[in-house]
Amino acid sequence: MSDPLPFEPDRFRTSAAHYRAGRPPYPPTLIRRVAERVGLGDAHRVLDLGCGPGPLAIGFAYFAGSVLGLDPEPGMLAIATEAARGLAPNVSFCQGSSYDLDPALGSFHLVTMGRSFHWMDRAETLRRLDAMIAPDGAVALFHGGHLDVPENGWTGEWRAITDRYAVDDPLHAQRRAGTWIRHEAFLLASAFCRLERLSLVTRQEITIDSLRERALSMSSLSRARLGKRTETLSQELAAFFARAAPSGTVSEVLEWSALIARRA
């Protein structure tokens, strides 16, 4: 198996403020389908590991007795706490990471991860979760990506621009070195080796301002890493969209998936 990425607890320190404005939210329909598929109910607890600003933690709060969101970045937790205020009183947030997983946190019926598993020591994380997830419980990995359809034609140049600014980030390079092992391999080698995938396709109009926020929400493009180059990146993206999207919006077609893993 591939080596885990080095743990940098403050990697998203300057990205947190851009997350909610830039990242498209997980579809509520997909969250509901996962909750139904794993039999989530009022008697169950959910752990959202690497919760970021809390979209999955808040989404699953409507289907569970309680949800705990865990993230190493205080800025993310502050945003998540504010977002949950008045919406999800059964959600709490705590600073920590996969390296802090311990049975002392209690037992969970479901552990969710929204595009966070790749930052962890994946084999060790699953080993620890085996002692924390109920016998009939599950892990659910959420992901979203652009489909190869004409409406997403703008994404090629978008990626070329953002990749050019991220190329000197060692962690970015490690994930794209051609030796990266898919999550499924780690799951199949763990106690959670019974896999199924749920998916959903969505279309939305998104503003170019939101796409700028999305770029700055990426840790490899954060202000902390790029410094003065942040404004250069913003200007280059603005010039591209002035040509590609003079109306100020683009259409975006995304395929969302939830990879559910249970014990055999």
Q: Is the pLDDT of residue 175 over 70?
A: no
Confidence band, pLDDT 50/70/90 cuts, at residue 5: confident
Q: What percent of the chain clears pLDDT 70, i.e. is strictly above it?
A: 97
| 16-262 CATH | 3.40.50.150
Mean pLDDT of 158-163: 94
- pLDDT band per the 50, 70, 90 thresholds, residue 152: very high
For the chain, domain boundaries: 16-262
pLDDT higher than 70, residue 1: no
The pLDDT score that the predictor gives to residue 154 is: 96
- In the chain, the percentage of residues whose pLDDT exceeds 90 is 85
d(CA 171, CA 242): 31
Tokens of 180: 């990266």
pLDDT at 121 over 80: yes
Residue recorded with tokens 């898919």:
182
Residue 84 has pLDDT above 70, yes or no: yes
- Specify the pLDDT at position 171: 72
User: Which residues are CB-neighbours of 52 under 8 A, at least 6 positions away?
Assistant: 12, 16, 19, 71, 73, 76, 80, 114, 116
pLDDT of residue 194: 98
- Compute the average pLDDT of residues 193-202: 98
pLDDT for 251 = 96
pLDDT, tens digit (0-9, with 9 covering 90-100), for 98-114: 999 999 999 999 999 99
Closest of 84, 75, 97, 96 to residue 15, by C-alpha? 75
- pTM for this prediction: 0.94
Q: Alpha helix (H) ranges present in the chain?
A: 16-22, 28-37, 55-60, 74-84, 122-130, 155-166, 170-175, 183-188, 208-217, 223-226, 229-244
85-95, pLDDT tens digit by residue?
999 999 999 99
